[in-house]
Amino acid sequence: MILTVASGKGGTGKTTVATSLALAITDISPVLLDCDVEAPNAHIFLQPQFDQRREIGLPIPEVDAVRCTGCGRCAEVCQYHAIVVMGGKVLVFPELCHGCGSCTLQCPEGAIEEVPNVLGVLEAGPAKDGIYFAQGVLNVGEPMAVPVIRELKRWRPFPEGRTIIRDAPPGNSCPVVETIQGADFVLLVTEPTPFGLHDLRLAIQLTRELGIPAGVLVNRDGVGDDGVEEFCRKEGIPILMRIPLDQRIGKAVARGEALVEAFPEYLPQFRELYTQIQSLIDSRQDAALPQAMGTRPSNDAKAGWS
Amino acid sequence: MKLAITGGTPQFETQLERRFGRCAYFIIVDTETRAWESFTNPAADARGGAGTQAAQFLANQGVEAVVSGDFGPNAFTALDAASIQMYSAQEGQAETLVDDFLAERLERVTGSTGPAHHGGGRSQGGRRR
Ligand code: SF4
Ligand code: SF4
């Protein structure tokens, strides 16, 4: 099972929830992926020992000044305007380059070679209580988060088949979409305030566009109004758990303690949360099963081959 | 010389549009004859790389100087590589900005003034012709 924990904005307790959920289901040795590559911080709570490392880069163009005639073709074909030709001189903007390779392909002089531009690194290793941990770390000032998240999702330094919890970056932009794509379920952490509701609406819209079922965890329950509650009821979105507003939780988190470690009384609730998500995914898959079966080759056909 | 001014509308009377890469129009003026022409900025709605695209457009038009408000780092790097002089103004009509330019009343831009979008470029010199 792949579960993404997301929230419309930062500071809603998304990482607190993701790490506590992982710590509540250590019996199945989950994997936690910190996909907030611009500011990964889940490691603080799970204390991994990194023993795997990979650099992630994009192939960017490098121009051979001797061969280049300054014809401008590369600049014409680059849809990201990451390469310009000024007065016969070629300029590459690595921060804009998506590594698509068009310029290299189209250069009539064969003057372009592709060289790796390192965007960031992936790190992984065993963490607390049998949890496996992996994170992406984007180089400072590097705007290309998506390729790093994509590689982090694909990376398998751990055995297949383990439950994966992805801690998403804040917001609703491309890196969040990338973190949600391919998940079986999205848990949206929100605050019961008008701001929280605003972000939740956008997040729900996004999960619907991606066709991925979602549920809500209300954090700091009691701070605001019942707008979130009403919205979820109207839209038929399950509220799976509530964590009350409690200054002690914030203080423990600030000290680098995971919520369920500082307050073990939350462990059963997080286990229940996991079970609920599991059954929501299962019931959805059951509903989709007859259709999926129809597309598979029938047993008769298989028998015919043997 | 060919001077470009970033504008919100395609007339010589247009008010200055302060965002270089995202302006709606470029008014390109021949400073000797005051003949002018307006061009839609092809980068106005670009998803990314508006600064570099707009700079490439001006370079292709043979522009030698440009008046705008802010120049982001990529736009600055690209315009500088094309030896296009940059000038910054707060406001004004394109028509009067031409006079300001000729009277040397405008501030010459010698570094990026806009919000840092994505840092600078990497020069990879080709053959100069
Ligand atoms: S397409 Fe090739 S030859 Fe033409 S300007 Fe670009 S690098 Fe130079
Ligand atoms: S690789 Fe693609 S995005 Fe990068 S400069 Fe070449 S054409 Fe542009």
Q: What is the pLDDT of residue B116?
A: 55
Q: What is the pLDDT of residue A143?
A: 83
Fold type of domain A57-118: Alpha-Beta Plaits (3.30.70)
Q: Which residue of A has its CA nearest to B79?
A: A86
pTM for this model (two decimals) = 0.74
Q: Which residue of A has its CA nearest to B56?
A: A84
List, for residues B3-53, the tens digit of each pLDDT value.
999 999 999 999 999 999 999 999 999 999 999 999 999 999 888 899 999
Render the burial of A223-235: b for 16+ CB within 10 Å, e for the rest.
ebeebbbebbeee
> Relative to the CA of A85, which ligand 1 atom is closest?
5
Non-local (6+) Cβ contacts of A277 within 8 A are A1, A3, A185, A187, A215, A240
Closest CA to A238 of A279, A193, A295: A279
The dihedral over CA atoms of A121, A122, A127, A131, expressed in degrees to the nearest 10, equals 160
How far A108 CA sits from the closest chain B CA (Å)? 14
Q: What is the pLDDT of residue A218?
A: 95
**Quick check: A277 and A240 in contact, CB under 8 A?**
yes
Q: What is the pLDDT of residue A11?
A: 77
Q: What is the pLDDT of residue B120?
A: 39
Q: What is the pLDDT of residue A298?
A: 42
**Average model confidence (pLDDT) across chain B:** 88
Domain A2-25+163-296 indexed as CATH 3.40.50.300: yes
Which one of the ligands is nearest to A67 CA? 1
- Does B43 sit within 8 Å of A81, measured CB to CB? yes
Q: Is the pLDDT of residue B59 over 70?
A: yes
Which residues on chain B are in Cβ contact (under 8 Å) with A88? Answer: 126-129
- Does B126 sit within 8 Å of A69, measured CB to CB? yes
- Does A88 sit within 8 Å of B128, measured CB to CB? yes
Domain ranges of chain A: 2-25+163-296, 57-118
Non-local (6+) Cβ contacts of A60 within 8 A are A82, A92, A94, A97, A99, A114, A115, A116, A117
Domain ranges of chain B: 2-108
Q: What are residue B34's phi and psi, to 5 degrees?
A: 60, 15
Closest CA to A216 of A288, A23, A225, A196: A196
Q: How far apart are the CA of A70 and the centre of ligand 1, in A?
A: 5
What are the per-10-residue average pLDDT scores of chain A (306 residues)?
A: 89 92 96 96 96 94 96 95 93 93 96 94 96 95 90 94 95 90 96 92 94 95 90 95 92 92 96 96 76 44 38
List, in sequence order, every residue forming a beta bridge with A56; answer none if it has no partner. A120
Q: Could you tell me where the DSSP H helices lie in B38-127?
A: 50-60, 73-81, 94-102
CA A115/CA A263 separation, integer angstroms? 50
Fold type of domain B2-108: Nucleotidyltransferase; domain 5 (3.30.420)
Q: Which residues of A touch B (CB under 8 A)?
A: 62-63, 65-66, 68-70, 72, 75, 80-82, 84-96, 111, 141, 143
Q: How many CB pairs under 8 A join A and B?
A: 97
CA A69 from centre of chain:
43
Could you give the ipTM of this predicted complex? 0.80
At B77, the amino acid letter reads T
At A19, the amino acid letter reads T
Q: Is the pLDDT of residue B122 over 80?
A: no
